[in-house]
Amino acid sequence: MAIIINLREKKKERIKTQILEVAKKIFEEKGYEDTSISEIARRCDIGVGTVYNYFASKPELFVSVMADVESRSEDFKFYEEVQEADDLTDLVMRYVLKYLDPYIKMDQKTLFSLMKAMMSVKLPSGMVQGLLKLDQLVMSKLVKAFELRKQQGKLPSGFDSLLHSENIYSIAGCEVLYSMFDITRDMDTVYERIEHKVHLYFSTKLEG
């Protein structure tokens, strides 16, 4: 009996992985708005209902794809590069360009669709859990970069990598949200504002 249950679980995991991989390809090919659950199901050679057994909606699937990509990525070259950063602001901006750039450049229609979906879901939901997982994964890269910097003796031993990462992530996140509602802002302005606020943050926290 245990063997049968184990085989079922492996099959479920295999189908879920297939859905995520196929969905990732189609999202990349067509973008969020033009991707349909029916096409994902067709390319997976499964029924539409089967996709919904694993993901309650297209927004939830999209967020799950992003989280899956982040969970699989570990760019060791990035960690080498950030250790060469001139200061913490430089380190953070390298991180922003590496890990937050795809989300900053996400088109407004997709962002609004995701926000609308998130506001309409009932808690707990797979989409909210996926967003939290994505946040934690992306933020963990900055935590690791700070910790490596501490090991080099370039940060004080009492530097709270997690706390500062959470605050920096909030700063960047707010700027992304502002840019969604202000179509006059270009990407250069978003990056400049993030860099300015990060510099002020560290000036206050480490020198104040």
**How far apart, in Å, are the Cα atoms of 192 and each of 34, 112, 187, 197, 204?**
32, 23, 9, 9, 18
Residue 18 has pLDDT above 90, yes or no: yes
User: Is 39 exposed, middle or buried, given 0-12, 13-18 or 19+ CB atoms closer than 10 A?
Assistant: middle
75 pLDDT band (50/70/90 cuts)? low
* pLDDT one-digit tens code per residue, 137-146: 888 889 999 9
- Of the two residues 10 and 16, the one the predictor is more confident about is 16
pLDDT of residue 123 exceeding 60, the answer is no
pLDDT at 208: 46
Among residues 2, 1, 134, which one has the least CA distance to residue 60? 134
> What pLDDT does 47 receive?
93
In this model, does residue 195 exceed pLDDT 60? Answer: yes
Mean pLDDT, the chain, whole residue set: 83
Specify the fold of 55-207: Tetracycline Repressor; domain 2 (1.10.357)
Say what the pLDDT of residue 39 is: 96
Say how many C-beta atoms besides its own lie within 10 A of residue 23's C-beta: 25
Q: Domain residues of the chain, as ranges?
A: 1-54, 55-207
pLDDT tens per residue, range 37-70: 999 999 999 999 999 999 988 888 988 888 887 7
* Same fold? 1-54, 55-207: no
Confidence of residue 125 (pLDDT cuts 50, 70, 90): low
Q: At the top level of CATH, which class does the domain 1-54 belong to?
A: mainly alpha
If one compares 113 and 4, the residue with the highest pLDDT of the two is 113
**111 vs 196, residue with greater confidence:** 196
